[in-house]
Amino acid sequence: MRVPRRCGFRHKLDAFSAQTYNAPIIAARGQRVAIFRPQNRHQEKTGMIGVQDLRKGVTFEFEGNIYRVLQYEHIKTGRGGATIRIKARDLRSGATIDRTFPSGNRVQDIRLDHATVQYLYHEDDMYTFMDLETYDQPMLTADVLGDAINYLKPEMTLDVVSYEGKPIDIELPTTVDMEVTYTEPGFAGDTATGATKTAELETGLKVQVPLFVNVGDMIRVDTRSGAYVTRV
């Protein structure tokens, strides 16, 4: 099939359109064709979101800091107005803030990178992990990890969260099994009661457990609330 010749202006326009929209162009016979492919660029910042869309667990950037929402409250005011009150943790410093926004305000939405890692050890307040794919060893301080250190056991697998190539947080599994290292002795028949007692676990975490739980037992703990789930 004969291909009609294109004028120079039209051909330049097609090439410009292809480069702009990452689409191939069709050239006349004997001409070399440049095909522009979409580029898969990593972008951490994805746009602005309304504060009314913030929820527990959502991460956002505000005034140059990266926050994760811990608590969210929508408060109605007079004449149809509303304010958004949140408690959030600074993922770089570990500090917790309380902030109230007028409904309709916007903050920077961001995208975080996740990598599966294994927890190795800690020295003083520095906790070391190993990326199971690259074998890199990212480190985070106790201040940044916060209460998560109560659930870290050597060789456990979890996710490290990074922003712009720097690790800033971890994501724990929903539950963790840990050994009871100290608690008051239990007694036969205690399973029928609803009473609880304090137990100290291998990481130093203290939880309320049923009376029948003893030293040496393995129990499952919810990492979101720190609550006893079951004996395993």
The third-level CATH classification (topology) of the domain covering 113-171 is OB fold (Dihydrolipoamide Acetyltransferase, E2P) (2.40.50)
Identify the pLDDT of residue 31.
Answer: 41
Q: Is residue 117 a contact partner of residue 138, using CB atoms and an 8 Å limit?
A: yes
Q: Distance (Å, rounded) from C-alpha 172 to C-alpha 56?
A: 15
Q: Which residues contact 46 (CB under 8 A, 6 or more apart)?
A: 109, 110, 111
Q: Kindly report, as residue ranges, where domains of CATH 2.30.30.30 are found in the chain.
A: 45-110
**Class (C level, CATH) for 45-110:** mainly beta
Report the share of the chain in percent with pLDDT over 70.
77
pTM, to two decimals? 0.66
Give tens-digit pLDDT for 60-87: 999 889 998 999 998 888 777 789 999 9
Question: What average pLDDT score do residues 118-142 get?
Answer: 95
More confident residue, 144 or 188: 144
Please name which of 94, 93, 76 lies closest in space to residue 85, comparing C-alpha atoms. 76
Residue 103's pLDDT is what?
86
- pLDDT for position 57: 84
In the chain, residues under CATH classification 2.40.50.140 are 113-171, 175-231
Measured over the CA atoms of residue 58, residue 59, residue 61 and residue 67, the dihedral's sign is positive
Q: What is the pLDDT of residue 32?
A: 39
Q: Quick one: what percent of the chain has pLDDT higher than 90?
A: 50
Give the residue-averaged pLDDT of 206-215.
Answer: 94
- State the Cα–Cα distance between residues 82 and 89, nearest whole angstrom: 23
Q: Tell whether the model's pLDDT for residue 218 goes beyond 90.
A: yes
pLDDT of 26-73, one tens digit each? 344 444 333 323 333 334 556 888 998 898 888 899 988 999 899 999
Say if residue 180's pLDDT is above 50: yes
Please identify, in words, the CATH class of the domain defined by 175-231.
mainly beta
Q: How far apart are CA 63 and CA 52, in angstroms?
A: 18
